Amino acid sequence: MLRPQTGRVQVKGNKKSRIILATLASLLFIYLGVSWYFSSVLIDFSPRPLEEDRQNLKIDSPAQFGLKDAKPFFLESQGIELKGWFYPAGEKAKCAIVYHHGFTGTRYGGMKYAPLFAQFGCDQLFFDARRHGESGGRYGTFGFFEKNDLLNVIDWLENERGLQDINIGLMGESFGAATSLMAAGFSGREFAFIIAESPYRDLETIVSQRGEADYGPVVHIFVPMAFFFAEMRAGLDVEQTSVLSRASDIHTPVFLVHSKQDTYTNPENSQSVFDALTGLSDQEKGLYFTDWNAKHARSIDTNAPVFTEKVEDFLEKIQAARRLSGDDTTPQNNAATPGGLRAGG
């Protein structure tokens, strides 16, 4: 009589289970490894040297933008040192423009916008965001720490030059545009204006859009764990890197510019931000989509005359010169004003 081969069956079953477990462990290892890699792409990117950025942008000298006699700028902010250049307009200057560059860029990135504001005779300050250029910082955080860095820069200007929030205009590009909007929204402070070129609406959206464009739809599998690792490593909160979450708390006039042909940051980002600016009247906000085949954040490079005209039209509409000087630009009969301008706006 044949005996049941139970021992062999058990051995085969154990072997199959081990293979399944080993496969699952390998897949988990790969998943975690790829997610870690994507978290590094987000927060542990390689800073672009200042000189390399200057050459890439084909800048011979800041003087070509009317910027002369720079003073070194240093500021301790949230445990790191920010560096940049400060261009005082003179002892009697009573306003300032602060420029915030884009992702992986440097202070040079904002200089092309300087001629837009020359008419106001303001001080001008260009600085490298944390983990960018010559500034310190182990990680970049897409606005989580950077929005408070920007507010600290503004506080330094106000203390150094005897200014107030209303005397400060902000010019931001891409990541710098989003950071400027977040600074205004999360703080509730009112500045003279914000000109925002090609911002993203929140970190989750831009990562999903860019990730799919660069790596395909499969990237969505890794995004949640990549965010978990990024939050753990850099101490950030992804939910606090959203322009939309506090857009209704922005009390500063905002002009958004975005190229219709932008394939890096979808133009719908600016439309979403504009729609969320519910705390501003139609007089205090604007949105212009350029249509001259400009790449991401390159609208002024491609058609400076029209870009300049649109920005200047908005600045005139909000009476930017008076705002920068600290004058009240609110209509006297605010209650009867169409659009409902805020008191003190």
pLDDT in tens, 55-71: 999 999 999 999 999 99
* Cα dihedral sign, 238-146-318-156: positive
d(CA 146, CA 183): 8
Helix (H) or strand (E) holding 5: none
Q: Whole-number mean pLDDT of the chain?
A: 92
Query: Minimal CA–CA distance to 293: which of 262, 256, 257?
Result: 262
What radius of gyration do the chain's Cα atoms show? 25
Q: Is 292 in a helix, a strand, or coil?
A: coil
pLDDT at 340 over 50: no
| Residue 300, pLDDT above cutoff 70 | yes
| Residue of 138, 168, 123, 128 whose CA lies nearest to 43 | 138
Please tell me the predicted confidence (pLDDT) of residue 90: 85
Q: What is the mean pLDDT of residues 248-267?
A: 98
Cα 128 vs. chain centroid, distance in angstroms? 12
pLDDT of residue 92: 78
* Confidence (pLDDT) at 64: 97
H or E element at residue 270: helix 268-276
Residue 151 has pLDDT above 50, yes or no: yes
Domain-by-domain residue ranges, the chain?
A: 9-43+203-236, 45-201+241-329
Is the confidence at residue 202, as pLDDT, over 90?
Answer: yes
**Taking the domain 45-201+241-329, which CATH number applies?**
3.40.50.1820
Contacts of 81 (CB under 8 A, 6+ apart): 74, 75, 135, 136
Q: What is the mean pLDDT of residues 177-182?
A: 98
pLDDT score, position 158: 97
Res. 312: pLDDT tops 90: yes
Q: Is the pLDDT of residue 331 over 70?
A: no
CA 278/CA 211 separation, integer angstroms: 30
- Express each pLDDT in 155-173 by its tens digit: 999 999 999 999 999 999 9
The letter for the amino acid at 195 is: I
